[in-house]
Amino acid sequence: MKLVKTIAEVREITAEWRKQGLTVGFVPTMGYLHEGHASLIEASSANNDKTVVSVFLNPMQFGANEDLASYPRDIERDQKVVEAAGGDLIFNPEPSEMYHEGFSSFVDMTVLTEELCGLSRPVHFRGVCTVVAKLFNIVKPDRAYFGKKDAQQLAVIRHMVDDLNMDIEIIGCPIIREENGLAKSSRNTYLSASEQEAALVLSRSIFMGEKMVNEGERDAEKIIAEMTQMISAEPLAKIDYVKIVDLGTMQQIQRIEKPALCAIAVYIGKTRLIDNFFIENV
Ligand code: PAF
């Protein structure tokens, strides 16, 4: 397993692989890898001859008051995770390698980015789309792997690939949870012991909402009201949103009659966490 810092090195290595007829899987990350990332790398290495993992904390997708400066980093630990999960190459560029002086081209999206995290984090998806488009152009993968925990991001990337005719298959992989239900996230490291306990309210409300749907409830407002009540009872939790949206458009719905997504964002102390469940068999 190799780590490179420049676009030229990634291009040289992946071009050689393609020349040999090898397929390339790609897992974009912002580092501080956990079992969720490892599951993406494992899925990629099971289905492709070679797997590239990018570790790049993308400043463009953070708003001015967000946690860019405090976001956890540990590239040595990341290398061990990538190696153990079967990755072949880490691309770990500096911001100056990705955004040269005078950089002024962006990939932006309407509709799908207007709700959920797009509403609370106005610059976020422009930063995500721009960096992912750049990474796709650098790595030129056959397939790219994204976690379903970032459900809106997955939908946005699928849409971008379709809109811009990028010849890449996008694979969504299941949410990986701690034994206690908490969805794995690099941001979980911010939580104190009491906040970790409080954060369990996210998955508890998700499981309750999912149970209501499985038992036949189709009124989105009823499900949202129950989930909101449960989360609001936790003193350390502050709701950003609890919403049910159409899976295709990410716009809010009243009744679940088509594939949908129930997504939540909740502050536990200062840490903003997200979780969700997909409603696919309606
Ligand atoms: O999901 C993430 O970690 C990031 O948004 C991504 C896709 C690596 C782009 O920076």
Q: Is the pTM of the predicted complex or chain greater than 0.85?
A: yes
Specify whether 159 is catalytic.
no
How far, in Å, is the centroid of ligand 1 from the Cα of 229?
A: 31
Ligand 1 pocket: which of 68, 99, 128, 186 to mutate (most atoms within 8 A of CB): 128
DSSP letters spanning 225-259: HHHHHHHHTSTTEEEEEEEEEETTT--B-SB--SS
Q: What are phi and psi of 183, to 5 degrees?
A: -65, 135
pLDDT of residue 154: 98
Rg (CA), the chain: 19
Give the pLDDT of residue 7: 98
Q: Could you tell me the CA-to-CA distances from 134 to 103, 128, 147, 151, 174 in Å, in that order?
A: 12, 10, 19, 21, 25
Chain segment 160-193, per-residue pLDDT in tens = 999 999 999 999 999 999 999 999 999 999 999 9
Q: Are strands 24-29 and 143-147 parallel, antiparallel or unpaired?
A: parallel
- Note the pLDDT of residue 131: 98
Ligand 1, residue 54: give the atom nearest the CA. 8
How many angstroms is it from 29 CA to the middle of ligand 1? 5
Which amino acid is it at 279? I
DSSP secondary structure string for all residues of the chain: -EEE--HHHHHHHHHHHHHTT--EEEEEE-SS--HHHHHHHHHHHHHSSEEEEEE---GGGS-TTSSTTT----HHHHHHHHHHHT--EEE---HHHHS-TT-------SGGGSSHHHHHSTTHHHHHHHHHHHHHHHH--SEEEEETTSHHHHHHHHHHHHHTT---EEEEEPPPB-TTSPBP-GGGGG--HHHHHHHHHHHHHHHHHHHHHHTT--BHHHHHHHHHHHHHTSTTEEEEEEEEEETTT--B-SB--SSEEEEEEEEETTEEEEEEEEE---
- Residues of the chain falling short of pLDDT 50: none
Cα-Cα-Cα-Cα dihedral sign, residues 69, 70, 71, 77: positive
| Nearest Cα residue to atom 6 of ligand 1 | 29
**How far apart are the CA of 226 and the centre of ligand 1, in A?**
31
Ligand 1 pocket test, candidate residues 26, 27, 30, most atoms within 8 A of CB? 30
Is the separation of the CB atoms in 142 and 169 below 8 Å? yes
